[in-house]
Amino acid sequence: MFKPRWAFVLIYLIILLSLHLGNVFATIPTGPLVQQQLDRVLRLPGQTFNVSFAHYAGYVNVNEDAGRALFYWFVEAAEDPASKPLILWLNGGPGCSSIAYGEAEEIGPFHIKADGKTLYLNPYSWNQVANILFIDSPVGVGFSYSNTSSDLLSNGDKRTAKDSLTFLLKWLERYPQYKGRDFYITGESYAGHYVPQLSQAIVKYNLATKEKAINLKGYMVGNALTDDYHDHLGVFQFMWSAGLISDQTYKALNLLCDFQSFIHSSNSCDSILDIASAELGNIDPYSIYTPTCPANVSQSNRLLKRVHMVGHINEKYDPCTEAHSVVYFNLPEVQKALHVDRRYAPSKWATCSDVVYTTWKDSPRTVLDVYRELIHSGLRIWMFSGDTDAVIPVTSTRYSIDALKLPSVKPWRAWYDDGQVGGWTQEYAGLTFVSVRGAGHEVPLHKPKLALALVKNFLSGSSMPSLKLVSDS
């Protein structure tokens, strides 16, 4: 149940009054708490249940000159948010919305029913253990925008990290109650670039300013693009071992694609990837054992960018969940409730931006150098992997970690949830690996309960549970 704090209620009333009076306060400077309360989201369209937590949505301007603004949705913890850490969640693509995936079908509390209009409460939302911040990153993604149209054609890793850092600093000004709070960055897929790069930017900023403006404690990435060479080897091996491609194609991929960039591949590699894609047939490469959404029969498999969605690994999974987001987030009343400015809203909201994806600029071949740097900074670093994803599979993550040549601290073993194997884990000096059994590319979508167990252990810094611990509890 929602319990209002009275100071906020008062500010509310003032704001509501101001809106009724025709925005008379529009030119009056607003304090952080006022803007915070302006961003507060009240009941959402299709929300048939009450919630115990506050949540906020709006923009943070990350570059005044260009007019670049990142859209965020911030969900406080379900209970006692002041005692809980702050988590940022980022989706990949490049070009995909963290609202579409992270919030609406993975770790967020508000999930969308098949009618595209009604919400239901995700019982495994990560806001059970943390305050969660979702941002549409970079500009051109989801509701994030730039007034400089060329910005949308010049996105890349460097500016994404820089704008995200600016976002966080300004966001903490708006939410001063989270200044100094334990902060963790999480994400999946191409966010395997964003997350360590942003972590690195924060560490550098803190060192330069000699104050911990952002109290970064660690980061965790899932099915993360990490190192093009090793990730490619892993993809090809996984596709062959799982029986998805022919011997001939496997050989050709290893011959023509192993040293390619994931984002900027050669024509000869692309043509073999097309053959591989045709051989896969109409499966969801992001979750190879689940059925596809019937609406997506003729789909192209673009690696990393989620152009389609499929699957059914637990009884409740709906392979068309992405389509429901498209309906919901295009509803004018939903956009209004989320404080989307209609002047800057996309004409049609999409889960992923083709423009951002196809015009992506700088994308280093590896972020392992960032890992090497950050492992020594004392951050907690976890890499997880849904083991039925063929896009950045468990083999890729294993090859990438192996390339770091870290000493093993605790050996490979199964971890457990409710007496069943939830996956496998190995702890290295400075890095922990955790796989999630039977989960695809979007781990919290297919295995929400296991994903919640994962983040709980990540936040507490403890090893994943063994069978014994589960039996003892």
Q: Rounded distance, CA 210 to CA 230, Å? A: 36
C-alpha distances in angstroms, 337 versus 58, 285, 328, 423?
10, 35, 12, 39
Q: Are 413 and 425 in contact (CB under 8 A)?
A: yes
Rule CB under 8 A: is residue 229 a binding residue for a copy of itself?
Answer: no
For position 426 contacting a copy of itself by CB under 8 A, the verdict is yes
387 labelled catalytic: no
Does residue 208 touch a copy of itself according to CB under 8 A?
no
Q: Does 402 bind a copy of itself (CB under 8 A)?
A: yes
Judge whether 339 counts as a catalytic residue.
no
Span near a copy of itself by CB under 8 A; candidates 48-56, 171-179, 190-198, 419-427: 419-427
Question: Which one of the listed residues 230, 232, 308, 441 is annotated catalytic?
Answer: 441
Picking from 341, 331, 321, 347, the residue whose alpha carbon sits closest to that of residue 445 is 321
Write the interaction track for a copy of itself spanning residues 308-347; mark x where CB under 8 A is met and - where it is not.
-----x-x--------------------------------
The answer to whether 449 and 419 have CB atoms below 8 angstroms apart is no
**Which residue's CB is nearer to a copy of itself, number 169 or number 242?**
242
Is residue 282 within the footprint of a copy of itself (CB under 8 A)?
yes
Kindly state the smallest distance separating residue 175's Cβ from a copy of itself, in Å: 39
Per the annotation, the verdict on 189 as an active-site residue is yes
Q: Is 423 one of the binding residues for a copy of itself (CB under 8 A)?
A: yes
Tokens matching residue 144: 């994030």
Stretches 20-28, 135-143, 242-250, 349-357: which one binds a copy of itself (CB under 8 A)? 242-250
* 403 sits near a copy of itself (criterion: CB under 8 A): no
Closer by beta carbon to a copy of itself, 160 or else 189: 189
The residues binding a copy of itself (CB under 8 A) are 237-238, 240-249, 279-283, 288-289, 291-292, 294, 297, 313, 315, 385, 387-388, 393-395, 398, 402, 411-414, 416, 419-421, 423-424, 426, 435, 437-438, 467
Q: Which residues are the active-site residues? A: 189, 389, 441
